Amino acid sequence: MTGDVAVDRVAAPDVERTAATAREIFQRSLGGEPAGLWAAPGRVNLIGEHVDYAGGTSLPLALPHRTVVAARPREDGRVRVISAWAPEEPWEGALADVRPAGQDGAVAGWPAYPVGVLWALAQREGRLGEVTGLDLAVASDVPVGAGLSSSAALTCSTALAVAELAGVPSSAPGAGADEDALRVELVAACVRAENEGAGSPTGGMDQQASLRARAGHLLLLDAADGTVEHVPLALEEHGLVLLVVDTRANHALVDGQYAARRAACDRAAALLGTPHLARAARGSSVLDVLDRLRAAGAEAEVLRRARHVLTEEERTRALVALLRAGRPGDVGPLLDASHASLREDHEVSSPELDVVTDAARAAGALGARMTGGGFGGSALALVREGDVDAVAEAVTRAAVHAGHPRPQLVAVVAAAGASRVG
């Protein structure tokens, strides 16, 4: 297959086409003009995986790919949503009748996400709760089911639209303390929309990245207190490329496996008497914490899950230290170790993810790991510019040889968080 493996290079967001599609669907299906258009990105997480729900540290970046919503407020309490990917599946109803997932009145399918945002915001006091009716048309170039947070891109673009339609200004992420406070509030509403509105468990990392990331930076996110730092990601000047490999093996969070990982981590935290498992080894060591867990009666499975969280926290800190020391080319072994831990201890990898990460390493990638929730979805590989084609070809060949779907390859840069685009 020499020469026929294409690596898409997305150097900067190209929202214009997606925005035009959203506007067009709006005009055609909902009638008239939207009051504005807002875009929010998907994310890829460099390291710090499956730790956000255990109070740990993650290091995502916002992708150039984004979801655009064209929106217009309504005065009558009704909501109409339509999307480019399922135009035959619009949703319309009264916001007052919407109920959380699992109850009569719950919204099914993709509309549960944007409607869930309105529902979550409507529970709040103040201006954010004032928009109770909305017309919304959605278009997106964030791959769906790829573990790149298409759902966060959808909830976050909707939340920003609602905030601005309510008269709360939405300048760039990180523009100042007020702006950040608004985005923190929107993150909470989006997490609630996904957890309660759509019944999809999520730990919050994706929404933080989508709303708060800065271009050219990783978002160093401490899930224990919600604080963030922006860490520069200088790959190009070191001749490095971050390759995202979408295995196209479907990834879904709603099947109980993700919730089971959370439950095991909650149990470990309870046995230790701490709210944040990921922080438990600060001031002692991973081995000490595991000994304490064993003494408290933790089952073998709970011990393995805890070991993943505790060691991942150490790897994340080590990786950030390398980046801050100007050594991004040295982080590869930490990425590899993260993958091994997710595969062996947390058991969230999949044959598709293992095959492509092994192949990437064998073809010269400096490091490779699954990224996001796992069980399919995407992997990432850190690759020297000159090795990109060889790695892409090896990854594709290995996946096809194993009888897996042909992966989709994208070289990405760290883009900015959500913003108004029209």
Catalytic residue IDs = 206
Closest residue (Cβ) to ligand GLA?
Answer: 203
Query: Which CB atom, from 80 or from 308, has the smaller least distance to ligand GLA?
Result: 308
Q: How far is CA 186 from CA 3, 120, 192, 284, 368, in A?
A: 45, 10, 10, 36, 32
Q: In the set 34, 328, 332, 373, which binds ligand GLA (CB under 6 A)? A: 373
Q: How far is the CB of 415 from ligand GLA (least distance, A)?
A: 18
Residue 112, token pair as written in the block: 């549960």
Q: How far is the CB of 378 from ligand GLA (least distance, A)?
A: 10
What's 101's DSSP letter? T
Contacts 24+ apart (CB under 8 A), 200-204: 200/151, 200/253, 200/254, 201/53, 201/253, 201/254, 201/258, 201/259, 201/262, 202/151, 202/152, 202/253, 203/52, 203/53, 203/262, 204/52, 204/53
Contacts with ligand GLA, 4-33, as mask; x by CB under 6 A: ------------------------------
Query: Which CB atom, from 328 or from 372, has the smaller least distance to ligand GLA?
Result: 372
Q: How far is the CB of 210 from ligand GLA (least distance, A)?
A: 11
Residue 204, token pair as written in the block: 């919050």
Contact segment (CB under 6 A) with ligand GLA among 124-132, 160-168, 169-177, 202-210 equals 202-210
Query: Which CB atom, from 82 or from 309, has the smaller least distance to ligand GLA?
Result: 309
Q: How many residues contact ligand GLA, by CB under 6 A?
A: 12
Contacts with ligand GLA, 30-49, as mask; x by CB under 6 A: ---------------x---x
Output the DSSP codes for 254-302.
TTSHHHHHHHHHHHHHHHHT-S-GGGTTTTS-HHHHHHHHHHTT--HHH
Q: In the set 21, 67, 195, 202, which binds ligand GLA (CB under 6 A)? A: 202
Orientation angle between helical segments 332-344 and 300-324, nearest 10 degrees: 170
Contacts with ligand GLA, 152-191, as mask; x by CB under 6 A: ----------------------------------------
Q: How far is CA 35 from CA 72, 97, 157, 261, 379, in A?
A: 5, 25, 14, 42, 38
Residue 204 as a binder of ligand GLA (CB under 6 A): the answer is: yes
* Site residues (vs ligand GLA, CB under 6 A): 45, 49-50, 52-53, 202-206, 372-373
